[in-house]
């Protein structure tokens, strides 16, 4: 049911009020209008009280009322409400009263008459005034709402920290907000009615205007990133420009929202520099790679100078394929340590991957509360270091064995020497025999010391190398030992002639003295990479149990035992190798391997061959 209209009827004649009420409601029902609800008061005081306490859509007031007249009531009402419609009634027509009623604010004036026609006229006047009042009230509410919305928009427009502006099609600013004023240092009076060229530098103004034209031509909203120089400072703005259309979809202007992203751009630029520095640092740490992973063990970053060297050229970490690159046991081992790091524990451990020995430092990043905890692993290739450590261990063992051998052999010789001296002091008849043995012992000690020096020199790296003819070397060694050495056509090789001559001296000496050989043969074979030189004799051979010991320090059948150890060290210093094959009663064969090309050997200074040095 629709809400009815409320009418305040100021009438001191109760019977007339009831008649008036009945007639108005009858006519309203007949017309089908909204219900009319009447409220009757008979005095001026009560009428004012009712009006102040309630809302009404219309007032009908008689001229004659208790404690005053209708004109007094009319004046009081218009003091507080000038819009509510008021119809004034009198029992007797009086032009002066009518004029006063209109002067004091009555909307209509009637004289009470007998007959239904007068009530119909009065009803029509009431309906007209109520409808007019309703229209005006709606207009007022609409204007109030419009004003409220306008103020809301203006306040919003002014309070937004982004730059807001509106331009016409000529590029003239029609509206800007406070943020725009603060940026430019100009007020609205200076900004409204001007174009970009009056505010910004020529280059920036042209760019902004071209952007405006692009939006207008496309008829669609577009976003731009602008670099603006203003008042000696550089700003970066992200600007959304929207074409403004009228009811016919014709473009009438341009609205823009610009956000200052200068700080963001500076942070991004700083971040890029940091990332570049970080990446440069990571990629240039020798033999190292860095791995960053999240709580779910997803790989966020994997890089560094050592990645390809350790994991191969084709390493692929997309979709966490690193874990499939590694074998199952290694992956499980790494993930266990990575999980511990994500729980806040630093980890250091080693593991092997292919031919590489890797040392891994895993550390947690972030506290896990305010910042999500990540994990970082630094992986170092320590293969060379481990190899060196193993070599040092071997060298320490070798030195220990060497010291033991030196101590043993020198002590034995000194005991012998001391014994002969004591015998001489007793002036025994065998004096000359003792002297010969004493001389022999001294020679052994000298030989031993000489062997020690040669052994020390044999282990040093070859610094100066020459090309030499092995035919001359072998012939020279044969003349030294007064023995004919059978040989094939031997090659020219790269190396230190003095050291190579020492190799053949020791091999020939070993064959003649220890092997009791009567025949020595030297021949060779060469491929693309290696010279293979074979040294064979027909001596007594080496016992099978001792084959693996012949190159060890101290190995000999009569003490000393440095010759073959010296040979091995010299060959290894030439980046080569030596092997031995022997069978008791049938002789011994040594196979020497020396590199053909310079890059195989890795030598430093190469000097031309001098025939006289090799002969």
Which pLDDT tens digit goes with each residue over 75-131?
999 998 888 999 999 887 788 888 999 999 999 999 888 777 789 999 999 999 999
Q: The pTM is what?
A: 0.39
C-beta contacts of 220-225 below 8 A and 24+ residues apart? 225/261
Distance CA(415)–CA(404), nearest Å, equals: 16
60: pLDDT strictly greater than 70: yes
Per the prediction, the chain carries an average pLDDT of 83
Determine the pLDDT at residue 7: 94
CA-CA distance, 263 to 235, in Å (whole number)? 9
Quote the pLDDT of residue 37: 93
**How far apart (Å, rounded) are the C-alpha atoms in residues 301 and 271?**
16
- Cα gap 141→327, rounded to integer Å: 79
User: What confidence score (pLDDT) does residue 606 get?
Assistant: 43
Query: Residue 290 in 3-state DSSP?
Result: strand
* Secondary structure element (H or E) that encloses residue 432, with its range: helix 431-458
In angstroms, the CA 459 to CA 277 distance is: 45
- Residue 484 CB neighbour total at 10 angstroms: 11
65-82: average pLDDT: 87
Q: Mean pLDDT over residues 469-497, rounded?
A: 92
Residue 473 burial (C-beta neighbours within 10 Å; 0-12, 13-18, 19+): buried
pLDDT of residue 609: 43
356 contacts 381 by C-beta, under 8 angstroms:
yes
DSSP character for 107?
S
Return the biggest CA–CA distance within the chain.
Answer: 190
User: Alpha carbon of 277 to those of 265, 271, 274, 283: distances in Å?
Assistant: 18, 10, 5, 10
Q: What is the DSSP letter of 513?
A: I
Residue with the bigger pLDDT between 255 and 450: it is 255
Helix (H) or strand (E) holding 607: strand 605-607
225-258 pLDDT, tens digit each:
999 998 889 999 999 999 999 989 999 999 999 9
Q: Give kind and range of the element (H or E) at residue 116.
A: helix 116-159
Q: Is the pLDDT of residue 348 over 70?
A: yes
**pLDDT average, residue stretch 484-502:** 90
Could you tell me the pLDDT band of residue 561, with boundaries at 50, 70 and 90?
A: low
Least confident of 322-336, 477-491, 598-612: 598-612
Write the pLDDT tens digit of every residue in 34-45: 899 999 998 888
pLDDT grade, residue 312 (50/70/90)?
low
DSSP H stretches of helix in 92-115: 95-103
Q: CB of 360 within 8 A of CB of 379?
A: yes
Cα–Cα distances in angstroms (integers) from residue 272 to residues 154, 237, 266, 275, in the given order: 40, 19, 10, 5
Residue 518's Cβ-side half-sphere holds a number of Cα atoms within 13 Å equal to 2
Are the beta carbons of 64 and 92 closer than 8 angstroms? Answer: no
pLDDT at 588: 95
> Is residue 472 predicted with pLDDT exceeding 90?
yes
pLDDT of residue 446: 65
Q: What is the pLDDT of residues 381-432, one digit of tens each?
A: 888 888 888 888 877 777 666 666 665 666 677 777 767 777 776 665 666 7
Other Cβ atoms less than 10 A from the Cβ of 352: the count is 11
- Proportion of the chain in helix, strand, coil states, percent, rounded to 5: 50, 25, 25
DSSP state of 377: E
| Res 154: pLDDT | 80
* Segment 507-524, tens digit of pLDDT: 999 999 888 999 999 999
Taking residues 24-32, report their average pLDDT. Answer: 91
pLDDT digits (tens, 9 = 90+) for 179-222: 999 999 999 999 999 999 999 999 999 999 999 999 999 999 99
Long-range own/partner contacts, residues 140-145 (CB < 8 A, 24 or more apart): 140/83
Q: H or E stretch including 143?
A: helix 116-159
Is the separation of the CB atoms in 73 and 47 below 8 Å? Answer: yes
Q: Is 615's pLDDT higher than 50?
A: no
Beta strands in 382-483 (DSSP E): 464-469
pLDDT of residue 487: 92
pLDDT tens digits, residue range 401-412?
666 666 566 667
> pLDDT value at position 577?
93
What does the pLDDT read at residue 384?
Answer: 86
């Amino acid at each position: 049911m629709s809400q009815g209209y409320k009418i305040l009827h100021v009438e001191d004649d109760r019977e007339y009020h009831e008649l008036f009420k009945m007639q108005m409601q009858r006519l309203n029902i007949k017309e089908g209008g909204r219900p009319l609800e009447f409220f009757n008061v008979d005095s001026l005081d009560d009428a004012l009280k009712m009006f102040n306490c309630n809302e009404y859509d219309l007032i009908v007031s008689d001229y004659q009322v208790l404690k005053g007249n209708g004109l007094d009531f009319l004046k009081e009402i218009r003091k507080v409400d000038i819009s509510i419609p008021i119809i004034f009634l009198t029992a007797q027509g009086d032009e002066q009263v009518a004029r006063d009623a209109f002067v004091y604010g009555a909307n209509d004036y009637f004289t009470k008459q007998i007959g239904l026609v007068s009530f119909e006229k009065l009803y029509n006047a009431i309906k007209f005034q109520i409808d007019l009042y309703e229209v005006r009230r709606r207009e007022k509410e609409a204007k109030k709402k419009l004003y409220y919305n306008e103020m809301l928009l203006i306040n919003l427009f002014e309070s937004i920290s982004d730059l807001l502006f509106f331009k016409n099609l000529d590029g003239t600013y029609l509206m800007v907000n406070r943020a725009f004023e603060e940026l430019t240092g100009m007020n609205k009076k200076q900004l409204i009615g001007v174009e970009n060229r009056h505010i910004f530098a020529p280059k920036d103004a042209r760019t902004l205007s071209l952007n405006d034209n692009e939006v207008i031509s496309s008829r669609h909203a577009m976003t731009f990133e602008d670099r603006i120089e203003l008042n000696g400072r550089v700003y970066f703005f992200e600007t959304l420009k929207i074409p403004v259309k009228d009811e016919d979809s014709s473009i009438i202007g341009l609205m823009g929202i610009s956000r200052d992203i200068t700080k963001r751009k500076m942070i991004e630029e700083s971040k890029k520099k940091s990332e570049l520095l970080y990446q440069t640092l990571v990629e240039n740490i020798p033999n190292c790679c860095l791995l960053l992973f999240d709580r779910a063990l997803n790989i966020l970053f994997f890089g560094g100078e050592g990645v390809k060297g350790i994991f191969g050229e084709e390493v692929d970490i997309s979709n966490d394929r690193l874990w499939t690159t590694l074998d199952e046991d290694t992956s499980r081992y790494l993930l266990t340590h990575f999980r511990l790091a994500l729980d806040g524990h630093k980890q250091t451990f080693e593991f092997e991957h292919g031919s590489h020995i890797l040392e891994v430092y895993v550390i947690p990043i972030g506290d896990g509360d305010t910042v999500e905890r990540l994990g970082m692993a630094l992986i170092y290739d320590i293969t060379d270091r481990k190899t060196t450590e193993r070599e040092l261990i071997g060298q320490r063992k070798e030195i220990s064995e060497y010291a033991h051998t030196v101590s043993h052999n020198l002590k034995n010789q000194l005991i012998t020497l001391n014994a002969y001296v004591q015998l001489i002091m007793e002036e025994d008849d065998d004096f000359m025999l003792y002297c010969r043995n004493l001389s022999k012992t001294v020679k052994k000690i000298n030989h031993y010391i000489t062997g020690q020096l040669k052994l020390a020199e044999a282990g040093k790296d070859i610094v100066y190398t020459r090309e030499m003819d092995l035919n001359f070397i072998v012939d020279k060694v044969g003349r030294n030992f007064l023995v004919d050495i059978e040989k094939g056509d031997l090659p020219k090789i790269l190396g230190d002639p003095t050291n190579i001559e020492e190799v053949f001296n020791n091999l020939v000496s070993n064959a003649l003295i220890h092997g009791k050989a009567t025949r020595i043969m030297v021949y060779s074979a060469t491929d693309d990479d290696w010279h293979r030189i074979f040294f064979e004799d027909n001596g007594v051979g080496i016992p099978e149990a001792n084959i693996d010991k012949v190159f060890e320090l101290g190995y000999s059948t009569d003490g000393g035992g440095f010759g073959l150890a010296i040979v091995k060290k010299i060959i290894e210093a030439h980046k080569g190798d030596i092997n031995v094959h022997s069978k008791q009663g049938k002789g011994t064969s040594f196979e020497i391997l020396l590199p053909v090309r310079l890059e195989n050997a890795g030598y430093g200074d190469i000097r031309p061959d001098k025939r006289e040095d090799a002969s």
